Structure 1
Amino acid sequence: MKINDLNILLRRLNTGVVIGMLCFTVLVAQGQTTETAPSNPHVRLGQKALIDGDFKAAAEHLQKALPAEANDPNVMYMLAYSQYQVGEYRKALDAFSKVIELRPDHESAYYYRGKANNILAVQTDTRISSSNREKMLNQAIVNYTKAIELNGEDVKYYQNRGIAYRDLGILRGTAGTANYDKTVATDAYNNSVIDFEQVLAMTPGKKDIQTELKKAKIYRDNLK
């Protein structure tokens, strides 16, 4: 892939996609030694679909590039991100895990694997046991923590980990449920408070996080 083509892609995608593709850009900049376009036609079509913002088509084309490109972290990241964007979170989890297997320092893959786990954990329209929801929330926390270890300057990692801790507190702190545990819920809310306070220290005045911080403290202080 030509670096110039990548720059065009990033400019044309919306802000949320740019954030998601940032680590992909770094991978290419570090790993590309020749400015050649992808030889695999499915990868080329997947790139074009990404430029056009058609994530469903991108996922379909990039999936067809496998297994030939399964060991290319750039291709796998584009596939995982496209699947995430169209709500195929379980498929995205597998693809992001492959990216991490190939590139253990890929902070964005950890971040989005955490987000996918968190989204699945709080979905109410699926039949998921409380124990599995808790497992996914803990996996989300682990992934956000790894992203923070790789880059402690990115505020969204703390913010999303705070949300995951809050969701864990809600799951374990709902009185009358079989998995109620005040101690576990209290610890989760305390960790949520720490992360939200860190977000505010890095970006003072964020109204949404100020609200989340107040809610986490109220939930914690009102545990039965």
Structure 2
Amino acid sequence: MERVKSGIVMALLCVVVMGGHAQTTETAPSNPYVRLGQKALIDGDFKAAAGHLQKALPAEANDPNVMYMLAYSQYQIGEYRKALDSFSKVIELRPDHESAYYYRGKASNILAVQTDKKISSTNREKMLNDAIVNYTKAIELNGEDVKYYQNRGIAYRDLGILRGTSGTANYDKEVAADAYNKSVIDFEQVLAMSPGKKDIQTEIKKAKVYRDNLK
């Protein structure tokens, strides 16, 4: 728990910032709901944080830091569609906010693979492609962050599974094989940056097996 809280504090100090470039201030936010939201985030109470930060709107709707904290809180409590909208607002305000692209990608990917939701295959594919676009943008902004490649590799893998399931309306062997190949490339990049990751070695093997067994 302490490690989680520590990570949240670091996020507030270094990532809730602008595009991954830390900005600090000696003054507390003037909006009381923003102050409450920050405190809740530090305490790890994301539901409370989302509630407080939502109340700070629309007054703080043009502050990318406030919108990022709201989006991050919504993401953490599983309100992924709301998080998508909020991260999009952050990006509108700060097109260089790599962390917003990353989490917007993650939210899209999570929604795309939720099996308990009635989502068409077409919409699932669109969300996976959106995730890939967002991860790619994050990589363009910072090609040194290994998690961007890892998550894009996962999105490509999920796209391969979606398009490579025989008997479904959107089955396409070539598209699926291409997605698996791109997944392998990203996972290999992860290993190049972080050698010895056994989970990624396993993902590469799985992607190749899935690709080679396409019918």
Is structure 2 residue 111 aligned with structure 1 residue 110? no
Q: Distance in 1 between matches of 2:20 and 2:134?
A: 23
Q: What CA deviation, in whole Å up to 9, does each residue of 1:97-134 have, x standing for no partner?
A: 00000000000000000000000000000000000000
CA contact (8 A) 1:12 1:51 kept: no
Cα deviation, 1:143-199, whole Å, max 9, x if unaligned, reads 000000000000000000000000000000001111100010011000000000000
Matched, 1:13 2:5: yes
Q: Partners in 1 of 2:35 and 2:68 — Cα distance? A: 14
1:81 to 69, 72, 78: 72
CA distance in 1, matches of 2:20, 2:188: 35
Once structures 1 and 2 are overlaid, which stretch shifts more, 199-208 or 23-32?
23-32
Aligned to 1:164: 155
Q: Does structure 2 retain, via aligned residues, the 8 Å contact 1:20–1:81?
A: no
Q: Give the Å deviation of 1:91.
A: 0.3
Q: Read off the aligned partner of 2:164 and give its amino acid letter.
A: G
1:23 to 15, 26, 29: 15
Q: Which residue of 2 aligns with 1:217?
A: 208
Gaps of 5+ in 1: 1-9
* Deviation of 1:24 (Å): 1.4
Aligned to 2:188: 197
Structure 2 residue 85 is the aligned partner of structure 1 residue 94: yes
After superposition, the Cα gap between the structure-2 partners of 1:88 and 1:160, relative to the gap in structure 1 and judged at 3 Å, is same
Alignment match, 1:207: 198
Tell me, yes or no, if structure 1 residue 57 matches structure 2 residue 61. Answer: no
* Cα distance in 2 between the residues matched to 1:221 and 1:100: 38
2: distance between equivalents of 1:206 and 1:14? 24
Normalized against structure 1, the TM-score is what? 0.90
One-letter identity of the residue aligned with 2:184: V
Q: 1:28 Cα deviation (Å)?
A: 9.8
Q: Residues of 2 paired with 1:128 and 1:18: CA distance?
A: 36
Say which of 108, 112, 126 aligns to 2:117. Answer: 126
User: Which contiguous aligned blocks of 4+ residues in structure 1 show a shift greater than 3 angstroms?
Assistant: 17-22, 25-32
3-state secondary structure, aligned to 2:16? helix
Question: Contact conserved, 2:9 with 2:42, CA < 8 A, in 1?
Answer: no
Q: 2 CA distance for matches of 1:31 and 1:114?
A: 24
Q: TM-score under structure 2 normalisation?
A: 0.94
- Cα–Cα, structure 1 residues 52 and 144, in superposed 2: closer, same or farther, change >3 Å? same
- Tell me the amino acid that sits aligned with residue 142 of structure 1: V
Residue 5 (structure 1) aligns with: none
- 1:35 is displaced (CA, Å) by 2.0
Match of 2:27 among 27, 31, 36: 36
Distance in structure 2 (CA, Å) of the matches to 1:27 and 1:74? 10
Aligned CA-pair RMSD: 2.0
Relative to structure 1, the CA distance from residue 26 to residue 101 in structure 2 (aligned partners, 3 Å threshold; closer, same or farther) is closer
1:155–1:199 CA contact under 8 A, matched in 2: yes
Q: Gaps spanning 5+ residues in structure 2: where?
A: none
CA distance in 2, matches of 1:27, 1:107: 5
Q: Would the aligned equivalents of 1:115 and 1:160 in 2 still touch at CA under 8 Å? A: yes
Say if 1:23 and 1:107, in contact at 8 Å, map to a contact too: no
Name the aligned partner's letter for residue 146 of structure 2.
V
